[in-house]
Amino acid sequence: MTFISLVYGLFLLIVLATYWLGRSPQWRLWTLLIVSLIFYSSLQLQYIPLLLVITLITFRLGQAMEANTALGGLQAKDQNLSNQEWQQGQEKWNGRRLRLLWFGIFINVILLFGFKYIPFFLTAIAAPLNLPVAQNTAVWISDRLIGPLGLSFFTFECIAYLIDVYRGAPASQQLLKFASYKLFFPKLIAGPITRYHPFAIQFKGLKFPTLEQSTEGLWLIACGAIKKALLADRLAIFVDLCFGNLERAGSADLWLAIAAYGLQLYLDFSGYVDIARGSAILLGFNLPHNFNFPYFSISIADFWRRWHITLGDWIRNYLYFPLGGNRKGLARTCWNLLMVMLIAGIWHGAAWGFVVWGGYHGLALAIHRLTEALSKRFERMKNWWQSLPGVLLAWLLTQLMVFSSWIFFRLPNLQDSGLVLQRLWGHTADVQFAQKVYQEALGLQRFEVAVLLAIVIAIMGIIYAFYQGLKIQLNWPLKLLLVPICLYMVWVFVPPGSLPYIYFDF
């Protein structure tokens, strides 16, 4: 069952009817948990026990870290102890809490490593250490082991919860509520990464959504379906043809494919999040935003405030700040940025291309921080970057960096991505490639493909101008009118064969 299917539409209708017919909070929690398990079972039934076990372990560790925190691990009857004894008790308890935290982080990291990174690790050491058995084992595991969908999102939420509890947030005291949050089906596979406490607060005041709220939920679902089915999946046809025939593609074809993939990735992922958020609204919940027009950023730091926002927040709160953030000097700040982006790259996948992608973004963030520091010292430099030519140049450089980095994201095998870099200039396409791709597969000329990409970008720009610049949005009656039109367009024009969401692999 995927979001873009009639099966999901029917499933969501049944869920909404069952969920809202029950009046008690317990009924709704049980409904959420059961339907979430059914949803995941339709994709990977075999991993349901694993997800439940990790949920239970995380829940129990949170409770164990919170117990007696206020008294430093000592009971109320011991209040006549000396200050020194109380301090020693508190230090002992804090040490135990820290060990529990590290144990929880270790379990989640090992789970992630075991399913995603063992073949990559074995392959990395096979050649330098001359261990053919390691290479053979890596191939054997890759062919037979398929990791749980959404594992990276699942483990990151568990780690965030444990760290929040360690820092003083209250631990969940209801396993049913915690499990309903962890397995909440709209966000389970590909986010957005949602922290427990903002989500759990919404359990207290659940109300049937108003007509305006229901319209917003349906509008998000319709927009997400348009993004995914009509745009991203269409772009995927051209992208796959180009990157699947690198030896035959010309430089112009590769540049178009890079631009198309950047748009495909954004539309695919943001389309998923739109449907997830829309489904959640119909159930009475608000999931966090994950995108804010990232391709209109004027710096790489601005890009990461707009792209995959929940991952960026996770990186800042649980990696960047604990490493020292920007509190230990400029050099240490740049080093921290590089380290956290390398980790973000590895999080996306077990391949050297993702490491290069993360390092590339980390280096860009460090250069931006250095440029920012210089601009504060030189007034003329600061004024230049704030002028119209400076803003346009900053936008152009940012997008050039972002889109060029997508090469390693789409082709994490360095031989393939390296070949693309080599062929970006001065290579003409094979005659047969042009005929097969443009004439037979697409029925378009290369120029027409470029025009269509420009139209997509222009539409995004118009929407950005209305939403961000003029602060104009469609009212709910108009949205309600457009919802069935959008869904009908998806029904009629969706390309044959449903493609999986790109972020399902992460």
Token pair listed for 283: 């159930």
Residue 423 belongs to a domain: no
pLDDT band at 68 (very low <50, low <70, confident <90, very high): low
Q: How confident is the model at residue 428 (pLDDT cuts 50, 70, 90)?
A: confident
Highest mean pLDDT among 60-64, 110-114, 126-130: 60-64
**Do 178 and 213 fall within a single domain?**
no
Number of domains in the chain: 3
Mean of per-residue pLDDT scores for the chain: 88
* pLDDT given for residue 85 in this prediction: 67
Q: Once rounded to an integer, what is the mean pLDDT over residues 155-183?
A: 94
pTM: 0.90
Whether 79 shows a pLDDT value over 80: the answer reads no
Domain assignment of residue 421, yes or no: no
pLDDT (tens digit per residue) in 2-15 = 888 889 999 999 99
Nearest Cα to Cα of residue 462 among 296, 345, 307, 323: 296
Q: Return d(Cα 233, Cα 403) in angstroms, integer.
A: 19
Together in a domain, 267 and 366: no
Asked, for residue 419, whether it belongs to a domain, the answer is no
> Do residues 185 and 221 share a domain?
no
Quick one: residue 267, left, alpha or beta (phi over 0 = left, psi -120 to 50 = alpha)? Answer: alpha
Tell me which of 206, 222, 245 is where a domain ends. Answer: 206
Residue 49 sits in the same domain as residue 113:
yes
- The whole-angstrom separation of Cα 136 and Cα 97 is 41
Q: Active site includes 348?
A: yes
Distance CA 8, CA 278 (A): 13
Same domain, residue pair 151 and 261: no
The yes-or-no verdict on residue 131 having pLDDT over 50 is yes
Domain limits at 281?
209-287+430-506
Q: Is there a domain that residue 94 lies in?
A: yes
Q: In this predicted structure, what is the pLDDT of residue 385?
A: 87
- Reported as half-sphere exposure (CB side, CA atoms, 13 A), residue 352 has a value of 9
The first and second tokens of residue 489, run together, are 């367009």
Please check whether residues 473 and 346 belong to one and the same domain. Answer: no
Quickly state the pLDDT bin for 351 (edges 50, 70, 90). Answer: confident
Indicate the residue among 149, 175, 206 that finishes a domain. 206
Residue that wins the pLDDT comparison between 285 and 327 = 285
**Whether residue 143 is found in the same domain as residue 171:** yes
Domain membership flag for residue 449: yes
Do 90 and 202 sit in the same domain of this protein? yes
- Among 348, 361, 368, 427, the active-site one is 348
Do 164 and 214 belong together in one domain?
A: no
Q: Cis peptide leading into 500, omega within 30 of 0?
A: no
Q: Are residues 31 and 179 in the same domain?
A: yes
Residue 414 has a pLDDT of 92
pLDDT number for residue 202: 92
- Whether 246 is in a domain gets the answer yes
Q: Is pLDDT above 60 for 94?
A: yes
**How many residues are recorded in the chain?**
506
Tell whether 381 and 403 lie within a shared domain.
yes
| Same structural domain, 386 and 449 | no
User: 3-state class of 246 per DSSP?
Assistant: coil
Specify if 418 maps to a domain. Answer: no
Are 396 and 382 spatial neighbours (Cβ–Cβ below 8 Å)? no
Report the pLDDT value the prediction gives residue 72, as an integer from 0 to 100: 47
Q: With respect to residue 458, please indicate whether it lies within any of the assigned structural domains.
A: yes
